[in-house]
């Protein structure tokens, strides 16, 4: 999501750091966000923190409690299913449009991103490995739909992705550090590439929906393990 240029640099820093901690699960769903604790953790004043919290309320990551402060937004199976179903349906539509409208440069960009993802090397730091793999993974998916030629749909896609981030992070940690899970993802990506490059719209749309829905059972399990639902 594009950051508001009217916010101060300190407020933007507070927004980025607090959002990152919420997405990564440092704060549990429905946990109270005490201003004193936030000031201590981030070394940022009340004003910028309030700006950041207001922005995160708009992104449905934080809820405001009348006269009682702020809490992390709750998570639920219903929300998980709704977000992922919407993402899968929209991604299938975008793939159809991209296949119908994409040119040779679009195909070349997909192949380049797929190659980059396949060549990733493991690193010792877990967070760095997760970020590196997910950045390349997102770049591949962005390339696949880039040929759709419809900015409003791409904006809707970005908004849904933002809503899914907390849930996705649970799946990422379960996937990136598993050789078997990564091998499964590579096979799914290869099947998608073949159907996209052969311009097989029905198969590509179906595979994309299935691909985007595979994390849902894993995320459900992680939510239950953590007692977050």
Domain ranges, ordered by start, for the chain: 9-72, 77-226
For the chain, what is the total number of helices (H) and then of strands (E)? 10, 2
Residue-level pLDDT at 158: 94
Domain 9-72 carries which CATH code? 1.10.10.10
In the 8-state DSSP scheme, what is residue 65? E
b/e per residue, 87-123, with b = 16+ CB within 10 A? bbebbbbbbbbbbeebeeebbebbeebbeebeeeeee
CATH 1.10.3210.10 fits 77-226, yes or no: no
Residue-level pLDDT at 229: 83
H or E element at residue 163: helix 151-175
Residue-level pLDDT at 4: 52
What count of Cα atoms within 13 Å lies in the side-chain half-sphere of residue 76? 7
Short-list 13, 88, 5, CA closest to 52: 13
pTM of the model as a whole = 0.86
Task: Assess contact for 207 and 191: CB atoms under 8 A.
Answer: yes
Residue-level pLDDT at 5: 45
Q: Interior CA angle at 168 toward 165 and 170, to 5°?
A: 120
pLDDT in 10s for each residue of the chain, 229 residues? 444 545 577 999 999 999 999 998 899 999 999 999 999 999 999 999 999 999 999 999 999 987 778 999 999 999 999 999 999 999 999 999 999 999 999 999 999 999 999 988 777 788 888 889 999 999 999 999 999 999 999 999 999 998 999 999 999 988 888 889 888 999 999 999 999 999 999 999 999 999 999 999 999 999 999 898 8
What count of Cα atoms within 13 Å lies in the side-chain half-sphere of residue 78? 1
For the chain, give the mean pLDDT: 92
Residue-level pLDDT at 7: 58
Residue-level pLDDT at 2: 43
Residue-level pLDDT at 127: 82
Residue-level pLDDT at 178: 86
């Amino acid at each position: 999501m594009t950051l508001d240029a009217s916010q101060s640099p300190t407020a933007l820093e507070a927004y980025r750091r607090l959002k990152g901690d919420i997405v990564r699960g440092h704060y549990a769903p429905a946990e109270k966000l005490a201003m004193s604790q936030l000031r201590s953790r981030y070394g940022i004043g009340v004003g910028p923190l309030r700006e950041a919290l207001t922005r995160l309320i708009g992104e449905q990551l934080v809820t405001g409690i009348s006269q009682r402060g702020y809490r992390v937004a709750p998570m639920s199976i219903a929300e998980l299913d709704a977000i992922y179903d919407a993402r899968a349906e929209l991604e299938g539509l975008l793939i159809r449009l991209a296949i119908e409208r994409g040119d040779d440069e679009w195909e070349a960009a997909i192949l380049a991103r797929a190659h980059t993802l396949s060549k990733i090397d493991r690193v010792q730091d877990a967070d760095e490995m997760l970020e590196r793999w997910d950045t390349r993974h997102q770049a591949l998916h962005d390339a696949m739909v880039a040929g759709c030629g419809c900015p409003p749909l791409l904006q809707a896609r970005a908004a849904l992705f933002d809503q899914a981030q907390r849930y996705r992070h649970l799946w990422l940690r379960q996937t990136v550090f598993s050789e078997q899970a990564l091998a499964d993802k590579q096979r799914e990506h290869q099947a998608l590439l073949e159907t996209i490059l052969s311009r097989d719209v029905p198969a590509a749309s179906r595979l994309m929906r299935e691909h985007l829905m595979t994390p849902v059972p894993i995320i459900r399990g992680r939510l239950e393990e953590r007692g977050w639902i």
